A and B are shown apart, each in its own frame.
Chain A
C-alpha cells in the first residue's frame, strides 16, 4: 500500500533519513517508533508529499509521490497531528467539515457524517459547537481524528497523536484508537515514541534511530529477537524512565 525505497532526506547538512526502506501492508497498523530526531515524522511528511525525497522513491498504491501526483494522492489520506492541529478560528464542527467543503460536499451530506463520527469518538453536538481553545486536550485530539476520517480515506497517518495528553487520557484514547483501527480496517501509519502505545496498537513496528531503520517486526520480535543491542536498550530505557521523555 505504502512503500519507501532507499529514501534519503537531508535538511541542510543534517541527514534526516538515510536510505530508509519500509513497507506498509494494507489494513494494518504500522507503528514508527523512535526517539525525537530519529526521522519518523519525516517519513510521514514524505508520504503526504509535504516534502520531497533527495534520493529514493516513496510510493502510495503503486504511484510515486511527486509534486504533480501529491494533490491527487493526498485525497486518500487522513492526517492527525499532536494536539489535533485544529484551526483556532473555526468551531470544532467547522474544523471537521473543512475537507467536505473543500471537496464540494453538500451540507446535508456532511451533517450526518459529522454526527456519526462524533458518536464514534464520543463527542456530542454541543461540544462540537465550541472553539478549539474551549476544548480539553483529549477533545481536541478526538476532533482532529474526526476531521481526518470525515472523507473516509483508506489511509490514516498519525503523528504523535496523543503526545500532548496527560497519562490517564492518553491511556484511555490509546484503547479507543485500537478499537477504532480494528473496526475501520484502514491502513494506518502511526508515529510515536511511546513503547506502550506501539505495543498496544502496532501490528508491525519499525524502530528507527538517527535516520535509519534499526528493526522491523512485531512487538514480540523486537522484545525477543532484537536485531541490535540498541533495540533492547531503547525498550528497557523507556520502560524504566516512563514518562520522562517528552514528545518531539
Chain B
C-alpha cells in the first residue's frame, strides 16, 4: 500500500500541474470533439508552427461548447474554432446578435476576440435522398408541406431544441405523420436503405455527397447562421501579432460549404488523418510522410497516460478516503453527514463533474485527477467506515483493558480488522477509476479516452475499440494486481 501511494505521489510530482497561465512561446489550440473542429484546429496549429513565433500545443477533442468555452475563458487554451450562432445563442445568450462585429464587441469584456467568418456556415439542415428529391419534386423545406407521408428521423438534440424541429414546424407550418428520434450515425444507414426519408444534418457534413443526399433549401430562412470563426484570447493575439494575422489570412473567407464538406469527407470517409487533411488544405506535404505514429505506439503512450491518471487519483482517494472513513466511524452523527455528501458527489454524472472542474483548475490532467479522485472517494470511505463499525465491540473493550491507547488501538487492532473491507473498497475504486478515466479525454486529460473521443467524433468504431478494449484489459489487470496486493495488506490470520 505504501509503495502504491509513493509511486502515485512520485508521478504527480513528475507530471506537475498541467493547467495554468499561458507559457511563453506556446499557443494552445483547442477543438470540440467532432471532425470539422479537429480539422480546423489542426490547420490552425500547422499555421502557427509555420509562422514560428510560438510553439503550437494541441488540445483537440475537448468536448462540447461548455467545455471549450470555459477552457478559453479561463486561459487554459488560447484558440479554438467556434460558430457565430453558438456564440450568440449559447455563450452570450443573446440571439439578437447577428453580425460578427456585434459578437466581437461583446466578447471584448471576456478578454476574447474572433476572426472574420471563415466562409462556410455549419448550420442545421434537412436532407433527403437525391432520388427522393427528384421523384417528389423536393427542393425547399416548404415543399415538405405537400408530403406529410415522408418518414423523418432526427437526432434528439434537433428534435428538442427550439432552433430545431419544434421551431421549424411552426415557422413552415409542417406536419409530418411519422417523426422519430434516432442515433445520428444510424440514421445515415436508415436513409440510404430507404427506411427513413428525411433527416437532420449539418450543412458541411462530409457524407452528404457520397451518400447521395440532398439538402433542402431553407427558403423561409429559419435556421440561424452558424458561420465558422476562430475564437481567440486577446492576449495571445497581442503577444503573437504575426501569427494571429497569418491565421486570419489563412482562414478568413477561405472555406465555403463545399470545401469544408470535402475536408470533412477526407477525414470521415477516406480515412485520412486530421494532420493530412490540414496539410492538404494548406497545400503542404503531409507533416509526417511515414503516417502519424502507429496505433500501437499511440496505445502504449496512452497506456502510461491512463495508468498515471488511475494511480494518482486512486492514491489520492486512498490517502483522503481512509482518514475520512475513520472519522465517519468515530463520530457517527457527523459521519452520516459526511457519507451523505460524498454519496451526493457520486450522483453527479462523471462528465458533469469533469466540466465543473474547468473553472477551478482549467483543462488537462489536473482537473481530471481532481474529479477522478473525488469519484473514487466514496467506495474507499464507505468500505473503511463499514469495516470499522463491523468490528466486535468486545474486541475494542479488550483493547482498552489491555492498555492500548486510541492511536495504537486504531493502528494495531481496528485497521487490520477492517482491512478486508477496506481493500474491497479500494479494489472497487480502482476498477471503477480505470473506466471513468476514459472520460478525462473530454477535457484534454489524455488516456485511453483520447481514442474513444476521436473515434466517436470520426464515427470510427475501430478507433473507439482501440481505446475501449485496452481500458477493459487494464481494469482486469488492476483486479488481478489487487488480489495479489491483498496478500500484503490483509493479515494472514484474517485470510480465507
B401 and A79 form a contact (CB under 8 A): yes
Interface 9-residue window, one of B136-144, B409-417, B457-465, B467-475:
B409-417
19 contacts between A and B (CB under 8 A): A50-B397, A50-B400, A74-B400, A74-B401, A77-B401, A85-B394, A87-B395, A87-B413, A87-B493, A88-B417, A88-B493, A88-B494, A89-B494, A98-B412, A99-B403, A102-B408, A103-B403, A132-B493, A133-B493
* Cα distance A91–B408 in the bound complex, in angstroms: 17
Would B404 and A98 count as touching, CB distance under 8 A? yes
Within 8 A of B (CB), among A154-180: none
What residues on B are CB-neighbors of A99 within 8 Å?
A: 402-403
Known A85-B395, A87-B413, A102-B408; contact A48-B401, beta-carbon cutoff 8 A: yes
Give complex CA distance A96, B398 in Å.
12
Nearest CB of chain B from residue A57's CB, rounded to whole Å: 20
Q: How far does the alpha carbon of A88 sit from the alpha carbon of B491 in the complex, in Å?
A: 9
A152 to chain B: closest CB distance in Å? 13
Q: B375-413 CB contact bits vs A (8 Å, 1 = yes)?
A: 000000000000000000011011011111100100011
Q: Is A147 an interface residue (CB 8 A)?
A: yes
**A51 nearest in chain B by CB position:** B397
* Chain A residues, Cβ within 8 Å of B401: 48, 50, 74, 77, 79
Which residues from chain A sit less than 8 Å from chain B, CB to CB? 45, 48, 50, 71, 74-75, 77, 79, 81, 85, 87-91, 98-99, 102-103, 131-133, 147, 151
Query: Does B333 sit within 8 A of A, measured CB to CB?
Result: no
CA distance A133 to B494 in the complex (A): 9
CB contacts under 8 Å to A, within B474-496, are 491-494
Give the distance in Å from the alpha carbon of A50 to the alpha carbon of B397 in the complex: 7
Closest A residue to B405 using CB positions: A102
- Give Cα distance in the complex from A227 to B368, angstroms: 77
B404→A89 contact, CB < 8 A = no
Number of B interface residues at 8 Å Cβ cutoff, please give it: 20
Distance between B10 CB and nearest chain A CB, rounded to angstroms: 30
Asked whether A89 and B491 contact (CB < 8 A) given A50-B397, A79-B398, A102-B408, the answer is yes
Residues of B within 8 A of A85 (CB): 394-395, 398
Bound-complex Cα distance A61 to B386 (A): 40
Q: A74-B403, A75-B403, A98-B412 are in contact. Are A90 and B491 (CB under 8 A)?
A: yes
Partner-A contacts on B (CB < 8 A): 394-395, 397-398, 400-405, 408, 412-413, 416-417, 419, 491-494
Please name the residue on chain A nearest to B401 by beta carbon.
A79
Is B404 a contact of A131 with CB atoms below 8 Å?
Answer: no
Q: Please name all residues of chain B whose beta carbon is closer than 8 Å to the beta carbon of A89 when the two chains form the complex.
A: 416-417, 419, 491-494
B398: A residues at CB distance < 8 A: 79, 81, 85
**Are A131 and B493 within 8 A (Cβ)?**
yes
Known: A74-B401, A133-B493. A87 touches B417 (CB 8 A): yes
Enumerate chain A residues within 8 angstroms of B397, measured Cβ to Cβ: 45, 48, 50
Are B417 and A102 closer than 8 Å at their CB atoms? Answer: no
Bound CA span A12–B120, Å: 79
Tell me which of B394, B404, B416, B494 contacts A81 (CB under 8 A).
B394
B185 to chain A, nearest CB (A): 55
| C-alpha spacing A75/B44, complex, angstroms | 77
Could you tell me the distance between the alpha carbons of A74 and B402 in the complex, rounded to whole angstroms?
Answer: 8
Neighbouring A residues of B416 by C-beta, 8 Å: 87, 89
Minimum CB–CB distance for B136 against chain A, Å: 79
A99→B408 CA distance, assembly (Å): 11
Distance between Cα atoms of A89 and B394 in the complex (Å): 15
Residues of B within 8 A of A79 (CB): 398, 401-402
Task: Kindly state the separation between the CA atoms of A47 and B491 in the bound complex, as whole angstroms.
Answer: 33
- A77 to chain B minimum Cβ distance, whole angstroms, is 7
Q: 7 tightest A-B contacts by CB? A: A131-B493, A89-B491, A102-B403, A89-B416, A79-B401, A99-B402, A89-B493
A50-B397, A85-B395, A102-B408 in contact; A90/B402 too (CB < 8 A)?
no
B421–chain A nearest beta-carbon distance, Å: 13
B412: nearest chain-A partner, CB-CB:
A98
Residue of B nearest to A130 (CB): B493
Contact A102 B491 (CB under 8 A): no
7 other A-B residue contacts (CB within 8 Å) besides A50-B400, A131-B493:
A48-B397, A50-B397, A71-B403, A87-B417, A89-B491, A90-B491, A98-B412
| A-chain residues with CB within 8 Å of residue B491 when the two chains form the complex | 89-90
Shortest beta-carbon distance from A164 to chain B in Å: 13
Listed residue (B398, B400, B404, B408) with the most chain A CB atoms within 10 angstroms of its CB: B398
Chain B residue nearest to A91 (CB atoms) is: B493
Provide the residues of chain B in CB contact with A45, threshold 8 Å.
397
Chain A: minimal CB distance from B244 (Å) = 66
Give complex CA distance A147, B405 in Å.
17
* A44 shortest CB reach to chain B, Å: 10
CB neighbours of B408 from chain A (8 A): 102
Q: Which residues of B contact A98 (CB under 8 A)?
A: 402, 404, 412
